[in-house]
Structure 1
Amino acid sequence: MNEHDLLWAMLPDGLDAFFDVESFEKTDRIFRITLTEKNTVPAELPKQYRGKRVINTVFKPVTVDFFPIKGRKTEIILKRRRWRFEGVDTMLRRDIALCAEGTKLEKEFADFLKEFN
């Protein structure tokens, strides 16, 4: 197992299908993993986007709190991609449900914390 495989093994299942590792930062207090969404337009497009040409993409970073690692706060920064299509006013983004509802906590981490309430 190489470093890349080890990192993906620690992250929530399925993220590697949609994201590439951009960077990893370690300080005395934090681990920060930055992932960039792949430039792959979702296969199932809503009707208004079908047959339209992608004219650009933009990123919207989202920070998700993850399980602490070795006493350090751990953040996953997801650079979420949004696609703009020719002739369509709204942008398209892939629906990836990673956070627990109403939080910025990764689902498994939120469930873990609920056990202490």
Structure 2
Amino acid sequence: MEQQELLKLLLPTELIEHFDLIRIEPMEDGYHLFLDQHNIPPAEFASHKLESKGFLDQAIIRDFPLRGKACFLHLRRRKWHDHDTGRSVYSSWNTVAEGTRLTAEFAAFLKEFDR
């Protein structure tokens, strides 16, 4: 099984479509997966002249446990400079459940489990 197929079993689909797994660090408190967004500008800015300007600060969110240990996703989203407007632009997703540091899927699971 190739790495991409394995990731599809472990991570939310939206992350697999937009991020590359950079590294995995097993630590005492669980597994830390580091992901960087692909260098593909947001579709809504397709007609603009954009230049990649690195990453926003990483967000650390919690996902389903792996092998009985916590799983922390370190996401670095890209930012682009829009030469047409002079502003910075970036993609946005609903990966994180509102008001939490959990993936939307994991938060929904915990909410249902709590009933």
TM bucket normalised to smaller: 0.7 to 0.9
**Which digits, 9 at most, give the CA deviation of each residue in 1:47-103, with x for residues without a partner?**
xx844342x412121111111122211111111001112253431111211011111
Answer yes or no: is 1:112 the counterpart of 2:109. yes
Q: Which has the higher helix share?
A: 2
Structure 2: unaligned runs, 5 residues or longer: none
Partner of 2:91: 94
**Which of 49, 55, 65 is the equivalent residue of 2:62?**
65
| Residues 19-53 of structure 1, C-alpha deviations (whole Å, 9 max, x = no match) | 111111112331011111011112222xxx84434
TM-score (ref. length: structure 1) = 0.83
Gaps of 5+ in 1: none
CA offsets per residue over residues 96-115 of structure 1, 9 Å max, x none? Answer: 11011111110111112112
| Aligned sequence identity (%) | 31
Between the two proteins, the alignment pairs up a number of residues equal to 113
Q: Which consecutive aligned stretches of 4+ in structure 1 deviate over 4 angstroms post-superposition?
A: none
- Is 1:25–2:25 an aligned residue pair? yes
Contact preservation (8 Å) 1:28, 1:72: no
Question: CA RMSD of the aligned region, Å?
Answer: 1.9
In the aligned structure 1, how far is the partner of 2:41 from the partner of 2:14? 17
Paired with 1:82 and 1:42, the residues of 2 have a C-alpha distance of 10
Q: 2 CA distance for matches of 1:53 and 1:37?
A: 16
Q: Judging changes above 3 Å, is the alpha-carbon distance between structure 1 residues 4 and 17 closer, same or farther for their aligned structure 2 residues?
A: closer
In structure 2, distance between residues paired with 1:40 and 1:4: 18
Match of 2:12 in 1: 12
